Amino acid sequence: MYNNRFSGRQNRGQGRRFFRAIKSFDPTAFINKPVQNSQIDQKEYFIKNSFSDFNVSPELKKNIIERGYKIPTPIQDQAIPAIIDGRDLIGIANTGTGKTAAFLIPLINKVLKDRNQKVLIVAPTRELAAQIRDEFFAFAKSLQIYSALCIGGASMGRQINDLRRNPNFVIGTPGRLEDLIRSRNLNLSGFGSVVLDEADHMVDIGFIQNVKFIISLLAHPRQSLFFSATIDGKVREVLQNFVVNPFTVSVKVGETAQNIEQKIIRVIDVAKKIEMLHELLNKEEFDKVLVFGRTKHGVQRLADDLNKRGFRSDAIHGNKRQSQRQRTLDNFKRSNIQILIATDVAARGLDIPNVSHVINYDLPESLDNYTHRIGRTGRADKKGIAITFV
């Protein structure tokens, strides 16, 4: 059933219809061919530190050890000392490389040394912002450091109350942060540290003006940390007014992870597509599967259909309330459900443990979306499999 190469003859007419709608997406350019990026140093990196070597407080080290962290990833190994030293930073890395810990650990340590320090973390999606806050909880456990999560789809009244407690960390999405700023419930003048995470995605989904507005209100001097998978075009517009004399960490080795096996399944009869998916999901090795669809209604229909067929599945998409999306995501993380069906809202930055397979049931709209979709498997140096229906 699997095919790792496209046939030029098979199903050519149907393929043309797909690719007229998705002009930027050419599967032959990436299937099992990681694309090298000329701006990235491709030399192999050797880890120089362990987490016990970092100059952070004993209480924070205890929480790091309790999380099972021993050897840092390359971006953590290089970024943590630079951030501790107070440097601005540009981090360029594939998804799943440990960026969140790379900035949270030194920033929590900064607040432990000076309780007047305030940190703003801006992320493109609600799910990613919530995930960063969850990581913050783990690293800041019992340290008496507080946070506010400011995202759309959740109660603004509660977020305003959280901000009135004067938390050291404010984590949010650009749109909601701007709303809070304009309503004078959030004043950025006191924030000495700012993180823009997944900056390229913020630009891609239309947040560039929100981000520029936020940057225009930031304090000087400040410590600015910028993380992105790519730095080009409009991303540079954001970057040039954000960092000063930055330390650059480049650990991106290709557009797609080497440890993700990429496969193609040809769909000759669209009416039998659901049966082909059913057959796959019945296989024993498909124990935790993330399935991507293109539309909100299509994703929900697929989840309903799979449930009728006896699979433990659920969907997340833009028509669901944020609380519903978060509850479904938590159930998938805990393996209470076997299959999560999602639109691209779930593709960026989410750290979901032990996803065995990613299935592109519908083709993504671009190579960039494809890269981030399949990056949900094969994380933390584990093997993963990505399957694309064509």
**What's the CATH number where 295 sits?**
3.40.50.300
**What whole-number distance in Å separates Cα of residue 253 and Cα of residue 46?**
14
User: Quick one: 313 and 368 in the same domain?
Assistant: yes
Q: What pLDDT, in 10s, does the model give residues 322-352?
A: 888 889 989 999 999 999 999 887 666 567 8
User: Domain of 234?
Assistant: 51-250
Residue range 75-90: average pLDDT? Answer: 97
In a domain, 43, yes or no: no
Per-residue pLDDT of 372-382, as tens digits, reads: 788 888 876 67
Residues 231 and 377 in one domain: no
Q: Are residues 222 and 293 in the same domain?
A: no
- Rounded distance between C-alpha atoms, residue 174 and residue 284, angstroms: 41
223 in a structural domain: yes
* pTM recorded for the entire structure: 0.74
Whether residue 22 is predicted with pLDDT greater than 90 in this model: the reply is no
Short-list 253, 204, 248, CA closest to 226: 248
DSSP string covering 162-223: HHHT--SEEEE-HHHHHHHHHTTS--GGG--EEEE-SHHHHHHTT-HHHHHHHHHT--SS-E
User: Can you spell out the DSSP letters for 281-345?
Assistant: HTSTT--SEEEE-SSHHHHHHHHHHHHHTT--EEEE-TTS-HHHHHHHHHHHHTTSSSEEEE-GG
Q: What is the mean pLDDT of the chain?
A: 86
% of the chain surpassing 70 pLDDT: 85
Amino acid, single-letter form, for residue 363 = L
